[in-house]
Amino acid sequence: MRELVHLLKKLVMRALLLPLRLFPVRRNRVVLNNGLSHNYSDNPKAVAEFLCRSYPGCFEIFFAVRDVEKHRFLREKGIQPVRFRSLRYFYCAMTAAVYLTNNGGYSYFPSRKGRLVIDTWHGGGAYKKCGLWGYKYPKIGRAEMKLAASNLDLFLSTSVYTSEVFAESFLIPRRLFWEIGMPRNDSLLHPDAILRKEVRERLGLSEGERLALFAPTFRRLGGVCTEEPAAVSYGMDRACLCGALERRFGGTWRLAFRFHPEIKRREESPMLGVLDVSGYDDMQELLCAADVLVTDFSSSMWDFMLTGRPCFLFALDFERYLQTTEVYTPVSEWPFPKASSLEELEQSILNFSMKDYKEACVRHYRELGGCETGRAARLVGERIYEHVFSCGAGTEENPRIQGQRRARKNVTGKRAELWLQREK
């Protein structure tokens, strides 16, 4: 029943928003929506930063957020924060020339001629199954997927295999997948020492301290996508983890804990001596600052893999998760050391081999057909510029756009593979 109600709400929204098609499309209006947490982060942020930096004053940019006051600073960048699901948000989205999101959110919009819809998605690799796999009633799932696909123009992909399995899971035509990687990962492939230092200072880390980030994902205990995401007892022990890291890698270690942004009820509080970074908006900045990532089934493992730094998987409910959750890539092929108890986690760290880890990561990246380019934000920004400012048929095309189109022809993910193989 819940899935049917969810579908009916979307159909009703389409009908209610239909009158907004009376308003003309604003040719330079761009609406960006971080549908995962509705703050200024993730792929929409990376694209927004590129647009502001490369095309100042060319676009009327709106960024959907939950808290407009918190995001007033965006106005200084030339970006207008707009409250998600407000009347103004719907008006802007329906009159935008470009709508970009990282988590759907366009299935309930009536179709609009002249609008470019880009879905960057929010997870790399091909791990937990999603789309149709999250529905109890497949017919309802297919109806929802078709609604979304009918509005979509481009779907960004991090690997060839991702494109193949997502095409089936989301009923998206294969030709709409753009295999350039995720804009948010550009910063991980082009390390910024200044940013890393700034983030570490914000977290209160002293010179020489090393950071382990524990960032587990959420659970939907019934396995249905319309259920509220839930937290579980994660069972992390600061002394055990940091002690093992100090013995294996040396130095002094601090542990930071981050809830997934989808989790609203957070009964389990971080332990004493642990940095609570759940309120830190930008996960990629935390990954930039971290020396080690510990997660469970989060696709952040793909992102952190691109840094070449160690990632460990730890979950008390590892076996149960494997029994109840469908995955695209067998867990045995994930290149990260796995543990279902603190003792196993400790041993994974103490026995860690950087050489074996890097070889496993390169092999995994190749097997999935990884295509992180390190310039996804630029490619998307140029595509947006082309859509907004290209001349009509039969007229001479802007030379700048011609150059951008030629530069996009042979995009590959070789940069990420070379980065994974680099010497530490």
Residue tagged 């209610």 (tokens): 16
- pLDDT at residue 419 tops 80: no
- pLDDT at residue 397 tops 50: no
- Residue 326 burial class via C-beta count within 10 angstroms: exposed 0-12, middle 13-18, buried 19 and up: exposed
**DSSP structural state of residue 132:** G
**Model confidence band, residue 271 (pLDDT cutoffs 50, 70, 90):** low
- Residue 45 parent element (H or E): helix 42-54
pTM: 0.91
**Model confidence band, residue 234 (pLDDT cutoffs 50, 70, 90):** confident
Cα torsion through 158, 160, 163, 169, rounded to 10: -110
For residue 412, what pLDDT is reported?
60
- pLDDT at residue 86 tops 50: yes
Our CA angle for 216, 170, 230, nearest 5°, is 25
Query: What stretches of 324-413 adopt beta strand conformation (E)?
Result: 338-339
**Model confidence band, residue 418 (pLDDT cutoffs 50, 70, 90):** low
For residue 127, what pLDDT is reported?
95
What's at 263, amino acid-wise? I
